[in-house]
A and B are shown apart, each in its own frame.
Chain A
Amino acid sequence: MFQWQVAWRYLTSNLLQSALLIAGVALGVVAFVFITALINGLAIVLTEETTGSIAHITLEPQVRVAPVLTDQSDYAATPVSNSQRRQIRDWQVLVSMIEAMPGVVAVRPEIDGNGFLVRGEAVAPVAIKGIEPEKLSVVAPIADSIVSGRADLSAGSLLIGTQLAGDLGLGVGQPVILRTERDRERLLTVGGIFETGIASVDERLAYLNLRSARPLFELPDGVIQLSIRLQDPADAETLAPALASLTGLHAVPWQERNRNLEDALAAQASTGSLIQLFAMVSIAIGVASALLLSTYRRRSEIGIMRSFGISRRFVAMVFVIQGLLVGLLGGLVGALSGYALCLWLYSIRQADGDPILPIAPDQGGYALVIALTTLCAVLAAVLPARAASRLDPLEAIQQ
């Protein structure tokens, strides 16, 4: 295509000027890539922080309301009174079934309940998780968070957080009475104290052996819920409905309980969009002004072309194509430089080994930025292209 050859010749005729223009565009692209990788990296870190120590899907018994008794008898389920205890009875079958599913890392049956820890005069509310000892750390890395004692969940042993231990003045090996919501009591021993850094956990949560929890919560064979960990937490929202229909239980993906995270991520994303928009506008202004200058410099050439009867369209296209080439080259150079910058920033580590910036170098929106930059540059070239194509050949020649 001859238009492309002419546009290319024009761009390469003044290499320094074109290089500066492309560098300017590339700089805007670098800013775009940096902010995109940073916002995405932040989202990843925040999501990881949130999903790192919680169940990705929780399976709970359905809230069952006794149906109104009618003469219709086509209910699949036997009507059950809501005064019945909510529990999962056939959990052993479900655990092995769900653990065999692809994408599922672990399933932990839990007896969850509330109670009070009593030590002499001091009383503190506590949320109890009764679990199998070997599954202590499958949801949150509790074993790694033990600061004193051991991650020991043998019968009669209790693991509590540092805050709770401090509140009650408890140390490892000391006895404490647990009184549950079912009004049962038992004397337990503090086996270990953990510190997760999450205040609500360190202040309220205690782990207990599943078997020890049974009499305390009056559940001889059922459990209250199943906590599921997935390979990819992002799958929770698609897997939850499948699990619900498979088990007949109520499946809650983690996102449902962490809507504030979504709001925070959305707010960050819109800040990012604003900066991305500014980057694109500055690219467009740069391209438009450079090409406008070029049409002015070349007006006698354009005039002579027009006098030969070369169409306005041809002249316009030569400038639009220059815009396209500048956008594409600037986009490519900028994307590569942006990637290099992100990699470099990612490689700078703090003392604890984490990067100084939570940047995600492979999430810089590279294809998007190249496409957007090319589009912006083409649109920015329309104004100069129109100016060039409307030049009066006679006026241009008589200069």
Chain B
Amino acid sequence: MNPLLQVSQITKSFIERELETRVLNGVNFSLQPGELVALLGPSGSGKSTLLSIVGLLLSPTAGSMRLLGDEVAQLNESQRSAYRSRHLGFVFQAHHLLPDFTARENVAFPAAAPRNRMTGAMHRRAAQLLDQVGLSERIDFRSTALSGGQKQRVAVARALMNKPQLVLADEPTGNLDRETGFQVMDLMKQINRAEGTTFLISTHDTQIAERCDYRIHLLDGRIDRVD
């Protein structure tokens, strides 16, 4: 089977006050469609940086990256933007919901904006996704009226709105208590099993990582091991 994502020899350096720090130093790995993968590593090991590069939010200093068969490391800003819209979903540590919109509108937003209209079909899909994440009773709540765990579940639903092939989650449970964190994790696993959506989830929590198919360990800018 063709890999969904193939990362080869990715390096990333940040230059600050003429001092170059190499955060990633030759990262290689690939993801198969339908996998649920954890990204582990100590703080500062470059997990967020790697997810940003894979998510086309950050350009690598060197290396190549194939996503769905396309070479994506050197795309320009508007191409990357279009690619993100069509193929990728994001969940961040902070939910980043739009406070002026309801849960349903937040979920539908990534579909409505590129077409510049909110259709009934989008509303229905958003409601269905909210149902899937267990929030069928909260669909028309303002996002500010939801609890932390509920907000993060809305964020998961929103990441799925455009039917992405790959969802990148950067410490999605980092702001939640353990129990709520597990619920959100189980939700992602359930979606992964039901829809076959590929997930790459960075976390510090080994119990969260345990729930994934396998774990990629990042250390000193390289992949230390995969288990």
Q: Does residue A2 face the partner (Cβ distance < 8 Å to B)?
A: yes
Q: Does residue A92 face the partner (Cβ distance < 8 Å to B)?
A: no
Q: Does residue B112 face the partner (Cβ distance < 8 Å to A)?
A: yes
Let me know if B81 and A312 touch, CB within 8 A. yes
Residues of B within 8 A of A398 (CB): 48
Let me know if A309 and B57 touch, CB within 8 A. no
| A301 nearest in chain B by CB position | B98
| B119 nearest in chain A by CB position | A2
B-contact 0/1 string along A3-30, CB 8 Å cutoff: 1011001100100000000000000000
Bound Cα distance from A309 to B88, whole angstroms: 9
Q: Does residue A40 face the partner (Cβ distance < 8 Å to B)?
A: no
Q: Does residue B182 face the partner (Cβ distance < 8 Å to A)?
A: no
Interface positions of A from 302 to 342, Cβ below 8 Å from B = 303-312, 314
Residues of A within 8 A of B94 (CB): 300, 397
A-contact 0/1 string along B92-127, CB 8 Å cutoff: 101010111100000001101111111000000000
| A309 nearest in chain B by CB position | B85
Let me know if A310 and B96 touch, CB within 8 A. no
Q: Does residue B86 face the partner (Cβ distance < 8 Å to A)?
A: yes
Residues of B within 8 A of A314 (CB): 113-114, 116
Bound Cα distance from A6 to B77, whole angstroms: 23
Let me know if A308 and B84 touch, CB within 8 A. yes
Let me know if B84 and A2 touch, CB within 8 A. no
Q: Does residue A393 face the partner (Cβ distance < 8 Å to B)?
A: yes
Interface positions of A from 265 to 320, Cβ below 8 Å from B = 300-301, 303-312, 314
Given known A309-B83, A309-B84, A310-B85, contact A393–B57 (CB-CB < 8 A): yes
Q: Does residue B58 face the partner (Cβ distance < 8 Å to A)?
A: yes
Let me know if A310 and B52 touch, CB within 8 A. no
Expressed in whole angstroms, the minimum distance between the Cβ of B97 and any Cβ of chain A is 8
B-contact 0/1 string along A385-399, CB 8 Å cutoff: 000000001100110
Given known A2-B117, A5-B118, contact A310–B101 (CB-CB < 8 A): no
Q: Does residue A80 face the partner (Cβ distance < 8 Å to B)?
A: no
Q: Does residue B78 face the partner (Cβ distance < 8 Å to A)?
A: yes
Given known A306-B81, A307-B57, A308-B90, contact A10–B100 (CB-CB < 8 A): yes
Q: Does residue A68 face the partner (Cβ distance < 8 Å to B)?
A: no
Interface positions of A from 210 to 242, Cβ below 8 Å from B = none
Bound Cα distance from A390 to B112, whole angstroms: 21
Let me know if A309 and B81 touch, CB within 8 A. yes
Residues of A within 8 A of B58 (CB): 394
Interface positions of B from 123 to 138, Cβ below 8 Å from A = none
Bound Cα distance from A5 to B102, whole angstroms: 13
Let me know if B98 and A309 touch, CB within 8 A. no
Residues of B within 8 A of A1 (CB): 116-117
Let me know if B116 and A310 touch, CB within 8 A. no
Residues of A within 8 A of B96 (CB): 300-301, 303-304, 397
Bound Cα distance from A311 to B100, whole angstroms: 20
Q: Does residue B55 face the partner (Cβ distance < 8 Å to A)?
A: yes
Bound Cα distance from A301 to B98, whole angstroms: 6
Residues of B within 8 A of A304 (CB): 90, 92, 96, 98
Q: Does residue B82 face the partner (Cβ distance < 8 Å to A)?
A: yes
B-contact 0/1 string along A241-269, CB 8 Å cutoff: 00000000000000000000000000000
Name which of A305, A306, A307, A398 has the most chain B CB atoms within 10 A of its CB. Answer: A307
The one of B57, B85, B158 in contact with A394, judged by C-beta atoms closer than 8 angstroms, is B57
Expressed in whole angstroms, the minimum distance between the Cβ of A324 and any Cβ of chain B is 16
Let me know if A2 and B118 touch, CB within 8 A. yes
Bound Cα distance from A237 to B135, whole angstroms: 76
Bound Cα distance from A319 to B114, whole angstroms: 16
Bound Cα distance from A6 to B110, whole angstroms: 13
Interface positions of A from 42 to 80, Cβ below 8 Å from B = none
Residues of B within 8 A of A2 (CB): 112-113, 115-118
Residues of B within 8 A of A5 (CB): 118
Name which of B52, B90, B114, B116 has the most chain A CB atoms within 10 A of its CB. Answer: B116
Interface positions of B from 18 to 57, Cβ below 8 Å from A = 48, 52, 55, 57
A-contact 0/1 string along B54-88, CB 8 Å cutoff: 01011000000000000000000110011111101
| A305 nearest in chain B by CB position | B113
Residues of B within 8 A of A397 (CB): 92, 94, 96
> Apart from A309-B84, A309-B114, A314-B113, what 9 extra A-B contacts exist at CB < 8 Å?
A9-B100, A300-B96, A301-B98, A301-B99, A307-B84, A307-B90, A308-B84, A308-B90, A311-B113
Q: Which 5 pairs from chain A and chain B are nearest by CB?
A: A309-B85, A309-B84, A304-B96, A308-B110, A13-B100
Residues of chain B at the chain A interface (Cβ within 8 Å): 48, 52, 55, 57-58, 77-78, 81-86, 88, 90, 92, 94, 96, 98-101, 109-110, 112-118, 158, 162
* Selected A-B contacts with CB under 8 Å, 27 pairs: A1-B116, A2-B116, A3-B116, A6-B113, A10-B100, A13-B100, A300-B94, A301-B96, A304-B90, A305-B109, A306-B81, A307-B55, A307-B57, A308-B84, A308-B110, A308-B162, A309-B82, A309-B83, A309-B84, A309-B110, A309-B114, A310-B110, A310-B113, A311-B113, A312-B78, A394-B57, A394-B58
